[in-house]
Amino acid sequence: MLNWTRPAARSAAALTVTAAVALLATACSPGEQARGGHDGQDGEDTAPAVATSFAHAPKAYPLDAYIPDARETDAVNRAVSVLARSCMQKYGVSRPAYQAPAGEMPPHARKYGPTDLESVRVYGYKPPLPDGVTKRQAVAAQQRGAAQERTITPAAKAVYTGTAQRADKKSGTAAAPVPDGVPEGGCHGAAQRAALADRAADDLMVVQNLFLEASATTREDAAVRALDKRWSACMAKSGLRYPDPLSAVDDTTWRSRRTSPDGPHPDFPAPSAEEIRTAEADVRCKSATDYVVTRHDIESGHQKRLIGQHEKTLAAVAERKRRMVERSRSVLTDAKKKTE
């Protein structure tokens, strides 16, 4: 399936936000550590840990216009799934239909680190779950995804990918050759071509590279350097020494310090009390310096400059995106008519 993850900032920790999205696409600790959404007698969560983690996150950027949004991405992924499954039937194999994520993460959720107090009081600097998703739901989505993956036979994988599958003694699966007549790239490759999505990955890379270039020039902008200094001075009042927000996110202490493995996000341990206190100060200083809105505006200006420099290339990317989404929606409409 397609992964339209926007590039995060330079932070390795920030990049783990994509893991939270991936977890749901395949589908808290007591005391001073993170509080969770547990309110049932059996310890299971029955409500999301927080109401929102992203109310103050950066909004859309100019370059977002060249990347499919969540609804467009869902249409493309479902269309490719429909086409691939139809192709696979010709070879007597199948795979589960595409399942939409259990929740959506805003594309720039933590581009400049966390932005919402309620969220960091639960997750600290760890990736949050999408708004409205409980830990129990996230775990269930993982389990469903793993269970579905186990139903896909080696023969089905060979047809889907167009690549012969080797025997695996550990799992006990047999080898599976690619049958004669399977299209190049397997049924998945054929489905992508039919949905006009075969250039999508290359086009995404073009836009991502421009995102990264704009982020790099933004970091060197005098206005951003001054903004970072104001934020850093605010943090110093709490006895915290960081030159900019992402250096706080990247503090290796948050990854090296041992805490409860039972964090509010099923893929990450609980944040420590120190991590939460630091993240709270971080968010407050972002608010005091109007950090997110100011940096978003500056970075948007850098993106607009790059868009002007790459006008022809991006016009072609936008047109291919339009045609891909239009074709995908047509495929879904036709598939629906066949079931009526």
What string of pLDDT tens digits covers the 340 residues of the chain?
Answer: 665 444 544 443 333 333 333 333 333 333 333 334 444 344 455 677 787 899 999 999 999 999 999 999 999 999 999 999 999 999 999 999 999 887 888 999 999 999 999 999 999 999 999 999 999 999 999 999 999 999 999 999 999 999 999 998 888 888 999 999 999 999 999 999 999 999 999 999 999 999 999 999 999 999 999 999 999 999 999 999 999 999 999 999 999 988 999 999 999 999 999 999 999 999 999 999 999 999 999 999 999 999 999 999 999 999 999 999 999 999 999 999 988 8
Of 34, 8, 77, 26, the residue nearest 332 (C-alpha): 77
Q: Which residues of 206-235 are buried (b: 16+ CB within 10 A; e: fewer)?
A: bbbebbebbbebbbeeeebeebbeebbebb
Reading the block at residue 158, the tokens are 């060979």
Residue 103: helix, strand or coil by DSSP? coil
Selection from 293, 262, 336, 286 nearest residue 45 by Cα: 262
Q: How far apart are CA 64 and CA 74, in angstroms?
A: 16
Structure tokens that stand for 150 in this block: 């186990």
**Cross-strand bridge partners of residue 111:** 113
pLDDT of the residue at 30: 30
Q: How many residues does the chain have?
A: 340
Q: Which tokens belong to 253?
A: 């202490």
Dump pLDDT digits (tens) for 13-65.
Answer: 333 333 333 333 333 333 333 334 444 344 455 677 787 899 999 999 999 99
Nearest to 57 by CA among 125, 13, 110: 110
Task: Decide: helix, strand or coil at residue 38.
Answer: strand
User: What pLDDT score was predicted for residue 13?
Assistant: 37
CB-CB contact of 197 with 2 (8 Å): yes
Q: What is the gyration radius of the CA atoms in the chain, in angstroms?
A: 22
pTM value is: 0.84
Distance separating alpha carbons of residues 205 and 211, to the nearest angstrom: 10
Among 209, 191, 202, 211, which residue's Cα sits nearest to residue 317?
202
Backbone angles phi, psi at 123, to 5 degrees: -100, -15
Query: How far, in Å, are 32, 35, 125, 223, 326 from residue 42 at the CA level?
Result: 21, 16, 28, 52, 47
User: What is the pLDDT, as a whole number, of residue 58?
Assistant: 96
DSSP code, position 51: S
pLDDT of residue 101: 83
pLDDT at 51: 79
- Confidence (pLDDT) at 298: 98
- Cross-strand partners of 45: 38
The pLDDT of residue 50 is 84
Cα separation of 188 and 85, whole Å? 9
